[in-house]
Structure 1
Amino acid sequence: MASSNAAKRLMIFGGTGFVGSAIAREAARRGLLVQCVTRGGDAPAHLRSEPWASRVTWLRGDALDPGTYAEHMRGADAVITSVGRLPFPHLTRDVIVRDNGETNVAPARCAAEVGVDRLVVIGASVPKMIPGVGWGFAPGGGIHDAGYAAGKAMAEAHARDEFVGGDAARRRGAAVLKPGPISGTRIVGSGPLARVPLWAALGPLASVMRALPLPDAVAQMTPVHVDNVARAAVAAATEDSFAGAYCTISNAELIERFGLDESSR
């Protein structure tokens, strides 16, 4: 797929996280100009020793407050949002919806306002049958969509209906990636125990699941490597085939189209 990466500039939200930092690393590896908006305005301590981090411009900003980054966003070739929060029990549903929904919608809305024509959203495959993720229960309110599912759906709907479909005069493109569980090496701090090898458990599980004739609802929960997600995100932000339209990239496509052999990693 053709793309012209020379001088392409990507602005990433969530670049300090597991998936967002992998996207920033992949974009920097390809020689793109990468800006990461973070609350601290600097690479977090656990990334500062990574060679790619010095090739990224770290900007101070709050995803929910476009006034902190709108001017920096002007002229960007694409905006990538990889912001989210797992539905831990101590969090309220409103917080989970906000941190998976509005924190992705606000940068997308700003991108449209300042003239950015390409958006990539890191969403998720959310099986309806999993409690806390697909559905929840509230005393007096019965069963409802869980905050995690509702937030992810909000971000996806905005990309489809507002960023792409909201202005017939502009030809904007958006891609929503929908990974299942994500494997790889998660860095959680410094020291010998800072690198958590998620691939050690999820890699073998993924191999077994890919070999089985599973129903689609189960197959979408096949673990996918974080590098696959990063390659897909950068492709969606830069390749011509993703311009001017809305698309989703399923978990199966992330595995099959953007994958490498586990042994080659």
Structure 2
Amino acid sequence: MSSLMSFTTPTSSPPKPLSTTRLSLLTPTRPSSLTRHHSLNRSLCRLSVCCSYAEANTKENLTSLPIDVVADVKPERIVVLGGTGFVGSAICKAAVLKGIEVVSLSRSGRPSSYSDPWIDQVTWIPGDVFYANWDEVLLGSTAVVSTLGGFGSDEQMKKINGEANILAVGAAKDFGVPKFILISVHDYNLPSFLLTNGYFAGKRNAESEVLSKYTNTGVVLRPGFIYGKRKVGSYEIPLDIIGGPLERFLNAAQNFTRPLSSLPGSDLLLAPPISVDDVAFAVINAVTDDDFFGVFTIDQIKEAATKVRV
């Protein structure tokens, strides 16, 4: 003999949630393979709530009410090209201090001239941009920061300032990295024919590549003379002894020097120097602020740096 069970539903009032809820947390996962076009850009954590129902007049435990929470979590992982250099090392340090994961690609790999604790928190990859294993370097990155540049013959400057950066921009774009930040150079109000040499021409070609491939996320910083404590081998050159006072003097004298700014080449003398820390913190602002893109002058770099300084 089989038994029958029947259920009735109360008609006096609509069902109401039980005091018990089931919470499920969806958390981002880290890519497990070297898959192109799947860089770790933005992860969204959602706290979802499922409720069951009971009959009317059931007493409710008010301490277990449903919760609706949406948290936006954006883990950052940047790749710094030339991270062992003067500007590159300052960017790596600032990023580590802000809790950003950092990978550095440079010919020398891990720098031997630094002993600071932040050094151990950077992944140092030795290699040349022209022969880099981009799958290894760019995996999971949310931004690439290039400090590549240098002096030499006209041909050498076009290669390191221009071609190397253009190659890196293309690799980052093909891999799906969402943002590219280029450290370029102030034009010093020079006549156009002087901007055709290898140094400036290479930098401007690289800028064009960044702004064309990263229309709404590309960043070009144009600092002038950058000062700070620059390490060359085992020696430290205190560029801040000159740069700091000169920056303060030129900023104070802007009302008097502004009429001269229209003269060709005037910024060779009148463009204020900028601290390497200001450049580094402006980069951090560019990494973390999705509305930060385009070309930035010396004053704009300083303004951006103040937003993220401790």
| Fold conserved between structures, TM > 0.5 | yes
Bigger mean CA deviation after superposition, 57-66 or 106-115? 57-66
Give the TM-score of the pair, scaled to structure 1: 0.79
Structure 1 unaligned segments of length 5 or more: list them.
137-143, 166-171
Secondary structure of 1:116's match? Answer: coil
**Distance in 2 separating the partners of 1:57 and 1:71:** 11
Shift of residue 64, structure 1, vs aligned partner: 2.0
Shift of residue 54, structure 1, vs aligned partner: 0.6
Secondary structure of 1:222's match? Answer: coil
User: Contact between 1:178 and 1:250, CA under 8 Å: does it hold in 2?
Assistant: yes
Secondary structure of 2:104's match? Answer: strand
User: Aligned to 2:164, which of 99, 103, 109?
Assistant: 103
Question: How is 1:73-222 mapped onto 2 (pairs within 5 angstroms)?
Answer: 73-86=138-151, 91-129=152-190, 145-161=196-212, 163-165=213-215, 173-190=217-234, 194-212=235-253, 213=255, 214-215=257-258, 216=261, 218=267, 221-222=271-272
User: Contact between 1:38 and 1:60, CA under 8 Å: does it hold in 2?
Assistant: yes
**Distance in 2 separating the partners of 1:164 and 1:8:** 18
| 1:153 to 1:220, Cα distance in 2 relative to 1, 3 A | farther
User: Aligned to 1:60, which of 115, 126, 143?
Assistant: 126
Secondary structure of 1:195's match? Answer: strand
**Distance in 2 separating the partners of 1:118 and 1:181:** 25
Question: How is 1:244-263 mapped onto 2 (pairs within 5 angstroms)?
Answer: 246-259=293-306
User: Contact between 1:78 and 1:238, CA under 8 Å: does it hold in 2?
Assistant: no
Question: How is 1:233-252 mapped onto 2 (pairs within 5 angstroms)?
Answer: 233-242=283-292, 246-252=293-299
RMSD, matched Cα: 2.4
Q: Does 1:8 align with 2:47?
A: no
| 1:50 to 1:5, Cα distance in 2 relative to 1, 3 A | farther
Give the 4+ runs in structure 1 shifted more than 4 A: none
Aligned residues: 229
Give the TM-score of the pair, scaled to structure 2: 0.68
User: Contact between 1:125 and 1:220, CA under 8 Å: does it hold in 2?
Assistant: no
**Distance in 1 separating the partners of 2:86 and 2:73:** 24
Q: Does 1:226 align with 2:273?
A: no
Residue 56 of structure 2 aligns with which residue? none
User: Contact between 2:247 and 2:274, CA under 8 Å: does it hold in 1?
Assistant: yes
Considering fraction of residues, name the structure with more helix: 1
User: Aligned to 2:137, which of 63, 72, 77?
Assistant: 72
Question: How is 1:29-40 mapped onto 2 (pairs within 5 angstroms)?
Answer: 29-40=97-108
Residue 139 of structure 1 aligns with which residue? none
Q: What do residues 92-122 of structure 1 show as CA deviations (whole Å, max 9, x unaligned)? A: 2010111111121211110000111111000
Q: What do residues 189-236 of structure 1 show as CA deviations (whole Å, max 9, x unaligned)? A: 22xxx1211111111111111012234452872100000000001110
Secondary structure of 1:124's match? Answer: coil
Shift of residue 237, structure 1, vs aligned partner: 1.4
**Distance in 2 separating the partners of 1:64 and 1:105:** 10
| 1:5 to 1:32, Cα distance in 2 relative to 1, 3 A | farther
**Distance in 2 separating the partners of 1:128 and 1:179:** 13
Structure 2 unaligned segments of length 5 or more: list them.
1-71
| 1:154 to 1:220, Cα distance in 2 relative to 1, 3 A | farther
**Greater RCO (CA < 8 Å, at least 6 residues apart):** 1
